[in-house]
Amino acid sequence: MIAPRPDHQRIVITGIGLTAPNGNDLATFRQSLLAGRSGVTRFETRYLGSTLAGVCHFDELRYQGRKEVRRGTRAGSIAVHCANEAVGDAGLDWPNFDKSVAGIYVGVTEHGNVETENEIHLLKEFGYDTQFWSHHHNARTVANNPAGEVSLNLGVTGPHYTLGAACAAGNAGLIQGVQMLRLGEVDLAICGGVSESIHTFGIFASFHSQGALARHEDPTKASRPFDADRTGIVVAEGGCLFVLERLDDARARNAKIYGEVAGYGMNSDARDFVLPHADRQAECMDLALRRAGLAPHEIDIVSTHATGTASGDTQECLALRQVFGANGHTLFNNTKSFIGHAMGAAGALELAGNLPAFHDRMCHATINLDRVDPDCALAGLVANEPRELAGVEAILNNSFGMLGINSVVIVKKFQG
């Protein structure tokens, strides 16, 4: 039994801002997930031509001027949109908030490839004359760019940085925010993950050469984790940033609370560049459960990472069976089936999409799951139609990435 933390060590989510291929705010995103509405569409990319992708359609000029959009990056614009939405959703008196005590922690899979590819493509048109290379390039491609663009936009003078954690980055950004709040380094954390991945042809080309790029006549049916007929990954862009606060601060301003971060875990496979390792994933989930003081059967919903690749899906399911067995209570779903794989934003978006279950008691489904791969058979796997629960008290969110980085976040319903 873990002793309860004092209120100044309890971290709660008070704001959510996002853009996803099927929604630009939490309410729309959640509605799409419950209605089975996919955001995957056909997409033209340099050198590869027509492919499939999850494409966002938020208004870049809502929080930025044309000059800022032109000078900055797609990842930066996504982060700025999400951060402004999160701050607004949290009900903060932002003009009068002490911005020196806020921190920005943004997870990314990669950053800078889009801008570098674009500059080289442009340079080719001028015979590779480097006088045509943009003087904005360095500021666009430094690793802290997405978080830095948020700092510039919101006037945050506290710490800002990005965390490179492959496809575990969305969870990693949130975990960093929790840690910094508990250390007393900041009083407010804007954290999560963003991805601009669809704007680089290299990511499509690499997955294509691996035979891991999804294909389907109907774009909305291309992303099909756990399905025996899955063909691979649908690349997506997107972002989700949370506002985190210590519970005593949230209470002092009577903030609405989406949930309490109860536990988390991060570890490494230390085995392979791309092949996941079920035992290490299971250990990461066990670590998060121990820190949360929860038994596996006390988790109501597991938001799976499953990307739609044979090795990824089957290894995660093996890990899930190790941890949860067939307890008859825990349900499993997947958000990538709706939007594709949003890389650095995946974990944050997938967590956000499940949080409304604390109040509407609905577990959204995994869509496109017509014929379950026997190696992915899970007791409690929710397929194609959402399922109503008697109540939802705890959600576990998995995110795993290349080079064997694993992250797990557990959020509990806020009980006061």
| 294-332 pLDDT tens trace | 999 999 999 999 999 999 999 999 999 999 998 999 999
189 and 337 within one domain: no
pLDDT the model gives residue 271:
96
Residue 245: per-residue pLDDT: 98
Q: pLDDT tens digits for 260-304?
A: 999 999 999 999 999 999 999 999 999 999 999 999 999 999 999
Looking at the domain assignment, is residue 40 inside a domain? yes
135 plus 16 within the same structural domain: yes
Final residue of a structural domain among 230, 252, 274: 252
Q: Does 99 fall in a domain?
A: yes
**In terms of domains, do 238 and 286 share one?**
no
pLDDT in tens, 357-379: 999 999 999 999 999 999 999 99
Give residue-wise pLDDT tens across range 192-247.
Answer: 999 999 999 999 999 999 999 999 999 999 999 999 999 999 999 999 999 999 99
Show the domain range for 267: 263-412
pLDDT for position 1: 60
106 and 199 housed in the same domain: yes
Half-sphere exposure of 357 (CA within 13 A, CB side): 33
Residue 118 falls inside a structural domain: yes
- Could you give the dihedral angle defined by the CA atoms of residues 223, 225, 230 and 233, in that order, rounded to the nearest 10 degrees? 50
Domain final residue pick, 205, 222, 252 = 252
3 falls within a domain: no
Q: Please check whether residues 271 and 404 belong to one and the same domain.
A: yes
**Same-domain status, 108 and 227:** yes
Our count of domains for the chain comes to 2
Domain termination site, one of 252, 287, 307 = 252
Indicate the Cα dihedral angle 133, 82, 192, 342, nearest 10°: -70
Structural domain contains residue 405: yes
Task: Give the CATH number for residue 322.
Answer: 3.40.47.10
Q: Is pLDDT of 248 > 90?
A: yes
5 is a domain residue: no
Question: For residue 257, is it within any domain?
Answer: no
Q: Where are the beta strands (DSSP E) in 160-311?
A: 160-164, 188-195, 235-236, 238-246, 259-268, 301-303
Q: Identify whether residues 128 and 25 lie together within a single domain.
A: yes
Please indicate, yes or no, whether the overall pTM of this predicted structure exceeds 0.95: yes
169 domain residue, yes or no: yes
- 192, 329: one domain: no
- 235 and 295 in a single domain? The answer is no
369 conformational bin, left if phi > 0, alpha if psi -120 to 50, beta if neither: beta
Look at residue 82 and tell me whether its pLDDT is greater than 90. yes
Q: Same structural domain for residues 43 and 163?
A: yes
Q: Examine the domain organization and report whether 214 and 275 are in the same domain.
A: no
141 C-beta neighbours (distance < 10 Å), count: 16
Q: Are residues 212 and 100 in the same domain?
A: yes
